Each structure stands twice: as C-alpha cells, then as structure tokens.
Structure 1
Amino acid sequence: MHTSPTTARGQHALVLVALCFALLAALPSLSLAQSPPEPSRKSLEDFCRPASSNKYAACSFLLRGGCSDASKPYCNTLAMYNALCAFDNPPDAPCKAYTDYCAAAGNEGKCAEPANKAWPQWVNSTMFQHQVFRMCNVHNMEGCDRCAKPAMLPTTPLAQLDPCDSLATYVIMCKAMPDMTACGFPWKPMCRNLAKSNEVFPNICAASALTDDNGDDGTGLGSSHGNHGAGSGSGSGTGDNPFEFEIPPMRMYFHQDINDLLLFRAWVTRTHFQYWMATIGVFVASFGFSAWVWTIRRVWIPKLNVKLAAVNLHIEGTIGYADARAHLPASQTTLPLNTTDAGVAGVGAGSRTSLIVKREALIAARAALLVVELAWSYTLMLIAMAFNLGWIAAFLLGAFAGNMVFNRDAPAPPKQQMGVGQVGEDSARVSEDGKDGMMRQATCC
C-alpha cells in the first residue's frame, strides 16, 4: 500500500511537533540538573534555631550575633552557608544544597566572591572554644562558667566539644579583657577587617578590638593557623543577649561610665538615677568612716582602756599576796602569811574569775571596734578599685568633709603610761567608769 506524498509529509510534521513538545517538557529538568537553586536561608535558620545547634559559631552569628539582617557584610545567605559548611560542616546541616549549588557550572565564581564568603579571619567553632579554654586556663574570669569543658586542643572533633556557645563566650571574654593573648586571633583581626565593625556588629566588636597590639596572633600555634574547617561548640549565654555579660566587664583603668558594678554582683548601676544614688552612698560611706575612726579612737577605745586598766589593777591585787604584803597598810600586816590568793582583800575565787572574764571581754570589744575599722577601710579601697572616676571623687570628697568636721583639734601630747605594779614607778588606778580621780600607789623594793 502506498501513501501519498501529502500524507507522508503530514506524518512527518506530526512527529516533529511531538518531538518539540517532548524537548520543551524536558528543558526545565535539564536546566535544574545543570543549575541547582540557591540554598534557602530559611533552611539554614531552621537548622540553627534548635538549642542543639547553639554550638555552631555560624548559627550563633546568624541568630544572635547581629547577622539576622542579610544586607550586612558577611551576612547574606551564601556567606552564612560558607561560614557553617566550609568551616564546621556538621553532618546534619543543609550543606549538601550549598555544595551542589557551588559545584554547578557557572556558580563557582559566584560562591568564591568575597561578598559571599565568611567573615575574613573566621575560624571553626573548635578554635573559638579552644581560645576560651586558653583564657580560662590562665585566669578564671567571668564567663568561664559558660563552657564547663572547653576544647583543650584546636583539633578537637565536633562531637567532643562542650555544649556551649563558643562564639558568644569567646567574644564577651575578649570584650572584658581585650589584652589577653587569645584575643589576638581571631577576634581582633576579624573586627579590623571591617570598617566601623563596632557599629556594624556591636555585639561582637568593641573599640578595644581596634587598638594595636604586639602583633601576636593569639593562636599559640605560630603564624600558620592550619585548616580552620573542623570543630564547633554549644550552649547559650545568660540573659537575652549571650554576647553581653549580665554584669559590666572588669576595667582595671580609670573610666567614667554609669553602667558599672559596685562591690557586689547584684549592685549594678544601669541608669543615671542608680548611678547617682550609688555615688551619694560612696560619699556617705567615706564620711561615715572618718566619723567612725574619730569616735573609736578618741572616745570608745580610751574608755575601754581606762576600764581595762582598772580591771587589771583589781586582778593584780588578788595574786602574788606574799610579794604584795610589804605594800599593805600596817593594819593589814597581821594577816597570816599563808593566806591564799583567793582570800586576799576579800575577793573570792569567783570574783577573780569574773574579773578575768571581764578583762577578756574588754579586750575583745576593743578588737571588734578595730576590726570594723579595718573592714570599713578595705571596703572603701575596693570601691576605689572599681576605677570609676565619679565614685573615686565621691570617696575623696567624703574623706575630706569627714576630716574637716571631726578632726578639728590638735591632738594632745602623748602622756607617759605607767606600768601597773612596776618597781620604782607610779601606776594610776582609775575607777571602772573612767570618771573618778586617780589614786597613786607607791611601789618600791
């Protein structure tokens, strides 16, 4: 059977149309295979949101370090994937989509662009945690409690890291003590690689990170840092912002700031009102110390000394009767020589014991007054060691005012104190209330 040329041409046309439709249907799948879509930022955020992902430095940077705004430097989706996958590459992370995308033809250059790479000088989570270990090994400072067992080695595997927020812990410790060697890398180089980094990422960079140092890279590994792509750490900080201390950092230099700590962890001034109340309190404490010193040294301790001298005279009169007999009035020399100490001058054993107890109580009272003075003075010293200029000024002004009010008279010249019962000397006997006159008792050999 022969087909006509017209029929044959029609069949060929139908075949060509079918092939065209088949090709058009296959084009999307071919295009997808050749160029995978850019990995989703939502997938990355979903991976980082659980507490189990707090240990990854990239997750900490993304959700809490100020990188939630994708328009910031090093914060776009590809840069965040690079920070997570190229440095830590956790097995359960959505890194395959990122790897496939960058491996696709035409995307290699896009993934290699500086804007799509991690923050320069970025390291893996293990290195951040290892630097925490180094700092805490030198000085058990505020923040060390966040990482119970930080990585001892920069090669510690991800699975063996302490579940703490390595990045946040490292950053807050460096912000508190920026001159520590471990802060020389990567904290300072990271912040110096970005103009106004302390304004772009205030949670991470501080003005102290931009100052010059001695050039030590802070790794403890020499100039070569090796491969930064294995390791991580976990946990979250305390409070809403894990990149900030609950208390202000320790500053061992003179400064003026209303946000400061006064003596106790709970005493943190955060407002102008709190700061000025604390400043007034420092003034009152300093003024009160001057009043206390004047009172105990010019009033209380002299009274205690007078009472103590009187008690000692009574005690001396009840012991050593055979030696003291020669100094008794003639009317009493008829007392038998074997009179015991307990019976001298009508003072029984119980009375002598009570006198000794009273003497020790007077000595203890005098010691307690001086201990209070010592504790008060050291408290003022600790206030001054906060190095807050406002509080130091209040402390000095309070001391000045206190001395102006209480220390107005020139001290009397010291009087020679006579020993009780010393041969060839006079000893003063004063009644217990310290107000009666003195009765001289002549003693000689």
Structure 2
Amino acid sequence: MTASPASLLLLLSSYLTLSTAQDVCNTYAWDSQALGGYCTTSGQATYRSPACSIYRLCHDASSGLGPQLCDTGRVFISLCADNPDLPECKTFQQRFNSSADYLSCMNTRAVKVYSTSAAEAFLVDSCSPGHQMAGCNLCNATACDTPDPLLAYSAGCLDMLMSGCKPWISFCTQETPALAQALCLAPQGRTTTATSPPPPASSLSVNVSADPCVLDPTQPACASYTYPDSAAQAGIDKLCGSMPDMPGCALQAACGKGQGLVAAKYCAPFVVLATLCHDMPGMRGCEDYKALCNRAGSVVKQCSDQPAVPGLPTWSQARKAVFSACDDHPMAGCATCSSSDCPDPLASLADICHEMPNMAVCAGFWAFCNAAGAQDVAQWCAEDDSKYLPSMLMYFHQRTQELLLWRQWRPRTQGQYVGSIIAIVAMGIAATGLKTLKGALALRWSHLRALSGEEEPQVVSVWLPRGGQAGEILAKSAITGISLTLDYFNMLIAMTFNVGFFCAVIAGYIA
C-alpha cells in the first residue's frame, strides 16, 4: 500500500513541528543574569522557589549538585513551572506553536519538586506540635517563613518518608542521589562535605541489626527467630519520640496504662513496632523491622504471628477523617484536633464516630473495630456512655445521636431516631389531649350539676370543696400536672436544637 502525497506531507509537517518544539525547549537562550536576580535578591517572590534554592546550591561547591541539575535552562524552566507569570516565562511560552508542546517541554525539563506551595503544604500538614521531624523547625502550621522550603521539605523526607514525599522520591530517582547530594542524601552520606558531624545518638540503629537473621531473614534457621522485646521497645521509643501523635503511639500509651482496655496480644512490643512501621515505614526506628518482615523470601514466623493491629487507621487517615468530619458537623471531638494541633487523632476520631457513627468518614474506624475486635481495643471501640456523650450544640443542626431527657434515651441508629420522633409527636398529642380532656370534664361536671339542681361553686375568701368537688379537683390537678410535665419535656427536647426533634415537638402540638 502506497502512502498518498498528502499523508506524507502531514507526517513531514508533524515531524518538523515536533523538532522545532524540541529545539526551543533545549536550545532557548535564557538570561542567566535575570535568573540570578530572581534567585539572589532576598524579598523577591521568586526567592523561595525550589528552583532558586537549587540555583543557590549550584553556586555552593560543597552541595554536591551535578552539572545536569545546575543547567541554567533547567533551573529557569523549573522557575517558570512555579512562577509562570514572569516576563521571561511568558516570552518562552510564546515560542511554542501550541500549549501542548510547551507543557511537554515543562514536564520533560523541569525538576520534579518545582512547587513552593506543595513543599510548604507538606510541612504545614506534617509538622504538628511535638513533632521532631527534620525541617519542622523551619516550616510548620504556626510559621513557615524559611527562605528555602525545598531544603526543609527534603530534610523532612530524608527523616521520615511519608506519602507527601512522592515528588521528592521522583526527583531523587531522576537526578540520582549522587548528583543531588544536598537534597537526596543525609549529611553523613555526602561525599563532597569536608567534615560531617557524626549522626546524633537518637538516629543510630539498635545494635541488633548485626544479628544474622536481621541481615538475612531468608535463612531456614531464622524461621523460629524472635526479635528481642528490648530492641522493639527501643524502636518504639525512637518512633514515638519523633512523632508522638501516630495511632501506634496511642496504642503504646494505652498499653502502658495497664487498664485492660487493650488486649495483651496487641501490647506485645513487636506488634506495636509492626503497627508503627506499617504506618510510617520510612521513619528511623523501622530499619530492623523492614529487614526482618518486608524482605522478599523472609521466613521469620514472628512477622506473621505478631502482625500490626488489623485495620488501625494510619496517622494520615485518622487526621483526614477528623478534618473531614469536623468540616461537616462540629462535634466534641473536633475541639481536640485541628490542622495545627492534633495530639491524638485516633482518640479524636473515636469521639467523633461514637457521637455520629453513621458518618461516611467513620467507615474505616468501624472496620478497624470489627477487624481488631471491639473488646480487644475497648479503649477506642467500646460503647461508654460516661465517655462518649453527644455534645450540646446551641444552634439548629441535624444528627442521629442526641441525648433526650435521660442518659438511656439516646438514639444511635436511624431506626431509633425515627422511633424517638414518633414518641415525641405522641407526647405532644398527649399533652394537648390532656388539656382538652380537662376542659371537657369541667363542662361535663357543670352540666351534671345543672341537671341535679346543684348550685355552681361560689368564689369566697375561705372555700372548702363540697360533695364530689374534691374528686373533681383531684382529677384536674392530676391532669394539669401530667400535661405540664409533658410540656416541659417537649420544651427540653426542642432545646436540643435538633431539627428533626424540634419539628416533632411542633407536629405533636398541631396534630
């Protein structure tokens, strides 16, 4: 089959367009003096850009950055990816025939960690009070005024490899750590630094790492190996010392109280360590656990016999669930967890899910309770009316759980909520009915007296009931007392400000 001249012409045109775009991307003459102005003038909006941090590191002989990363074109393109409104960036974009060609160039040549806002967001989200993660002292939820967010971000990812570190991992994989040492290697691992201080004692691994089964857990003799509790506890102390708000640290604290609210099988040091390392595998303190249990072909039975607590929400999952729930409904648990201060996200999530169990964000929490056994993790999953009481909201709202009159009257499910509405409507009907009954009885008694020729009671200063009047008065008093009690009950229910219950009160009185 022979291609038509038009097809050949189209192919040739596409090739020339692509070739032109590549030439612009790779050979564009950038103004190195303008780049220096953007990246060395403190106070410029661009000064804190990751591209400018790289620029300044490239002019530091001890940084260990390779020439490919320090290429002026790459640095400027990375700066344009972060600050597209710069005049030089707009001129560069105009050289391309289409926005697709421009974006292709940016994706190809810009470094993988070009965004200032993304680096700051990672640190603000990750650096809660009490965290000792590297970089948190430079940028956190309270203040983030460091001139080099990229360096703080890299330090944090070197210290604790969390989910927000994916761009950093992609960057170091693309550039190779040896050619981006200041950003991808710990100080003690860099070869260009003249003298590197020894790592702090808190960062040194437990000496058990020299154990043959930790070095090679695939040996048949390691099937019965048991990791020492003292070494596991050292790892736990290191992990919780750095990041005390992890759910695994809440587990460790509950076990330490000895109140029996967590099953002994979940308090074994190796289980707590496994739980922490399942949450944050990149943190220091998990090296031995990962060597024992995460290596392909490991035969160590302890890894399967004492796994992480099943279903326990991770640090990130617990925080996101709390923030999402509190954005929808203010609850008691929200007061103990904010984006800047959330010392125990698992406890806050438990408070919220016991108060409003049907919220979508609580599905993971209840899955954890079912998987781990509610009584085995009673610290968070057991029903406790003295601990988990619905908060009192002094404005109209809608939720299933509410405390009505008595501690025992607390609807927890949709069915119980509907049943409560029916009961409240019935109370309103009964209160109205009793008032009607009282009036009807008064008319009946008056009519009977008229038929019998008795005189109506006279109002005098001193009055004593005559004949059957004592019974009438007693009946009226009883009806008034019951009616008044129901009225006050309905008033107190209306004051819960629960929309459904408030409407039920009104419906009861107008039915």
Fold agreement, TM-score > 0.5: no
Pairwise TM-score range, normalised by the shorter structure: 0.3 to 0.5
- TM-score scaled by structure 1? 0.36
- TM-score scaled by structure 2? 0.32
**Greater per-residue helix proportion:** 2
